[in-house]
Amino acid sequence: MRFSSTLLIGLLALAAGGAVYAEQAPVNLCTGSPEGNYHATGRDIAAGASRKYVSVSVIETSGSMDNMQRLARRECGAAIVQSDAYLVYQRRHKDRPVEITRNRFLYAEFAHLVCRRDAGVSSTADLLTNPAKHRILVGPEESGSALTWHAFTFLDRRFARMPTENVGGSSALDRVLGGQAQCMFFVAGLGSKLGRDVDTRGKDLRLVPITEDVLRNAQFGSITLYETRNIPRNSYPNLESGLRDEGVPTLTVAATLIIDRHWAERYPNGPSALLGGVSGAMPASSRRAMSGSN
């Protein structure tokens, strides 16, 4: 059978197109709620990633722990999670761990521990000396704030002895101001709406430094869980009243892009192509975090 030159050229072009398509790695990137920074950052990463080598579908989820579960089920090849969500998931699911091959820092949010001034708490050491004395509201179950508190309990069992409740936001603030709890804990950018509300109503509250070495030096596998930073002076005028000039030392929790090992092994060019979108995404994601778009 003889082929015409036109048909032959067409077949070669089709084969070449198929080869290019075969090299493109499809990946579901799990993020968060559509109005949140995880999802917006995922869209920015997808826009900046090399389309020659990776095709990114940005997936809406309920956040870090949902993302870890989807990674475990191989529904996602990559995800944006809190740095300590990986620790919490692996500790809870030792029989079904998630294996990651690459991780990349995206932006940081600050851990805020706010207590009543009349509770006599000036540092985490005061809480740990008598852990049963103070009730702490740590955010809704499976929220980012609650996940970070869970990570604290894994890293230092004394935190597990403190009475906590899964209450967050304005409800937590109302209860602390009303004396039903002594402290509230939340993870957010410095310009978050919750942080501003707590400061506005917080003349009887204070920011408490988080300085425990076991938290400051924590690592899990190749991931450094926290960075020690100061909440800058004048970020929260009411909450900082009476505190030292250089700011309040605390921990920052990183939003981190993690990549599943199985996906990376199947598509060797995929991880580098996906990570290529991170640099362009970081400035906007950091601005959103600091303005409170969590």
**10-68 tens-digit pLDDT:** 444 444 444 344 469 999 999 999 988 999 999 999 999 999 999 999 999 999 999 99
State yes or no: pLDDT of 119 exceeds 90. Answer: yes
Let me know if 174 is exposed, middle or buried by CB neighbors in 10 A (0-12, 13-18, 19+). middle
Q: Cα separation of 207 and 204, whole Å?
A: 11
| Closest listed residue to residue 170, CA positions, set 147, 200, 210, 148 | 200
What does the mean pLDDT of the chain come to? 88
Q: Which tops the pLDDT comparison, 78 or 19?
A: 78
Q: Cα separation of 245 and 270, whole Å?
A: 47
**246-256 tens-digit pLDDT:** 789 999 999 99
Q: Cα separation of 110 and 207, whole Å?
A: 12
| Residue 115 and residue 198 in one domain | yes
Rg (CA), the chain: 23
State yes or no: pLDDT of 72 exceeds 90. Answer: yes
| Residue 37 and residue 137 in one domain | no
pLDDT value, residue 191: 78
DSSP states along 155-166: H-HHHHTS-EE-
CATH no. for residue 72? Answer: 3.40.190.10
| Residue 269 and residue 222 in one domain | no
| Residue 68 and residue 171 in one domain | no
**201-232 tens-digit pLDDT:** 999 999 999 989 999 999 887 778 999 999 98
pLDDT band at 95 (very low <50, low <70, confident <90, very high): confident
| Residue 42 and residue 116 in one domain | no
Q: Cα separation of 111 and 226, whole Å?
A: 10
3-state helix, strand, coil in the chain (%, to 5): 45, 25, 35
**150-202 tens-digit pLDDT:** 999 999 999 999 999 999 999 999 999 999 999 999 999 887 889 999 999 99
DSSP annotation of 24: S
State yes or no: pLDDT of 103 exceeds 50. Answer: yes
**Amino acid identity of 125?**
A
Domain span holding position 173: 108-254
The pTM (predicted TM-score) of the whole model is: 0.84
State yes or no: pLDDT of 280 exceeds 70. Answer: yes
pLDDT band at 244 (very low <50, low <70, confident <90, very high): low
| Residue 230 and residue 132 in one domain | yes
Number of domains present in the structure of the chain = 2
State yes or no: pLDDT of 242 exceeds 90. Answer: no
Task: Give the Cβ contact number of residue 286 at 10 Å.
Answer: 17
pLDDT band at 276 (very low <50, low <70, confident <90, very high): very high
Task: Give the Cβ contact number of residue 33 at 10 Å.
Answer: 13
| Residue 132 and residue 224 in one domain | yes
| Residue 122 and residue 233 in one domain | yes
pLDDT value, residue 131: 87
pLDDT band at 8 (very low <50, low <70, confident <90, very high): very low
| Residue 45 and residue 78 in one domain | yes
State yes or no: pLDDT of 7 exceeds 60. Answer: no
Q: Which tops the pLDDT comparison, 140 or 13?
A: 140
| Residue 101 and residue 180 in one domain | no
Task: Give the Cβ contact number of residue 268 at 10 Å.
Answer: 11
| Residue 63 and residue 112 in one domain | no
Exposure string over 104-133, b if 16+ CB within 10 A, otherwise e: bebbbbbbbbbbbeebebeebeebeeeeee
| Residue 243 and residue 265 in one domain | no
Q: Give CA separation, 171 vs 76, 175, 180, 191, 197, in Å.
A: 34, 6, 11, 19, 12
The tokens describing 63, both together, are 């956040």
pLDDT value, residue 96: 85
pLDDT band at 292 (very low <50, low <70, confident <90, very high): low
Q: Cα separation of 261 and 271, whole Å?
A: 10
Query: What HEC string does 234-259 produce?
Result: CCCHHHHCCCCCCCEEEEEEEEEEEE
